[in-house]
Amino acid sequence: MQLNAMFPTRDIGNDPARIRDWAQAAEDLGYAYIEVPDHVFGAAAREGWTPRYDERDPFHETFVVLGYLAAVTRRIRLSSGILIAPQRQTGLIAKQAAEVDLLSGGRLRLGIGVGWNHVEYEALGTDWKTRGARQAEQAEVLRRLWSGELVNYDGRFHNLKGVSIVPPPVQRTIPIWFGGFSDAVVKRAARLGDGWMPIMPPDALAEQKLALLREEISNHGRDPARFGIEGWLRMHEPDPQRWAAAADGWRRLGADMVMLYPMYRMPKFDDLIETLRRFKEMAGG
């Protein structure tokens, strides 16, 4: 089972050298992927709604960071983790992802989700209520745009007539993995995705979701053995024993990858590097 490293966007700071040093440390330690999260806006709390991240939490721009990481690393693969696709223009996603894939030599995976922040959708002028249906159509359109051919597509949310992405990506196509764990997302991933990357513990609910996923994959005539699983380990405190137990749980469930997802803050740069080292030591068995 491979280990992935979440880009510590809230704690890494603004020094490009530190971003480079952290990424190269992840590569040197043998991590499979660096995953860069996505939020365009921070949002302040309001009556009846408190955001998981607020207006004080820094989020570096996903595709710009991925492009920078492509330049300062050589082997480690790169991923959005996750991109809130329905609040972005699909053609722009296709263009930016193709460029990162090109500049990284074919190392990109696109992780996409529908998000939890309706305020951010509203601020970006996009529709919160249709985000699931829009995401499904986006996956189809993205793959067509990455083909290198002229694309015609007439759908509910997209109307493309004789357009293309040039230069195209190295990979034809870039893998698309789905985040989230609602039944609707699981079914969408099984139909349209190359993998599933939920944030949940390896418990009885995860087993149920995996059973649904594999059933849906088979129903669509696809091979479950060719479909990837990555468990995100959401942790609220630095407890290496809990990291290891959660990683072992996902290993037993047949996951291909796991990623530590710290919710606690690490203001010291040395702590970010030590976390990479410690997670590899505890979960890499």
Q: What is the mean pLDDT of the chain?
A: 97
The reported pLDDT for the residue numbered 249 is: 98
Determine phi and psi for 206, rounding to 5 degrees: -60, -40
The rounded distance, in Å, linking the Cα atoms of 3 and 265 is 21
Assessment of whether the complete model's pTM goes beyond 0.85 = yes
Predicted confidence (pLDDT) per residue in 170-187, tens digit: 999 999 999 999 999 999
The reported pLDDT for the residue numbered 12 is: 98
Number of Cβ within a 10 Å radius of residue 60: 20
The reported pLDDT for the residue numbered 73 is: 98
Residue 285 has pLDDT above 80, yes or no: no
Structural domain of 157: 2-283
Q: What average pLDDT does the segment 126-155 reach?
A: 97
Is-contact 210 197, C-beta < 8 A? Answer: no
- Give, for 26, the enclosing helix (H) or strand (E): helix 16-28
Predicted confidence (pLDDT) per residue in 35-88, tens digit: 999 999 999 999 989 999 999 999 999 999 999 999 999 999 999 999 999 999
Is-contact 203 210, C-beta < 8 A? Answer: no
| CATH code assigned at 85 | 3.20.20.30
Q: What average pLDDT does the segment 115-126 reach?
A: 96
Bridge partner list, 231? 258
Band of residue 25 on the pLDDT scale cut at 50, 70, 90: very high
Query: CA dihedral in degrees (116, 121, 107, 133; nearest 10)?
Result: 80
Q: How many domains, in total, are found in the chain? A: 1
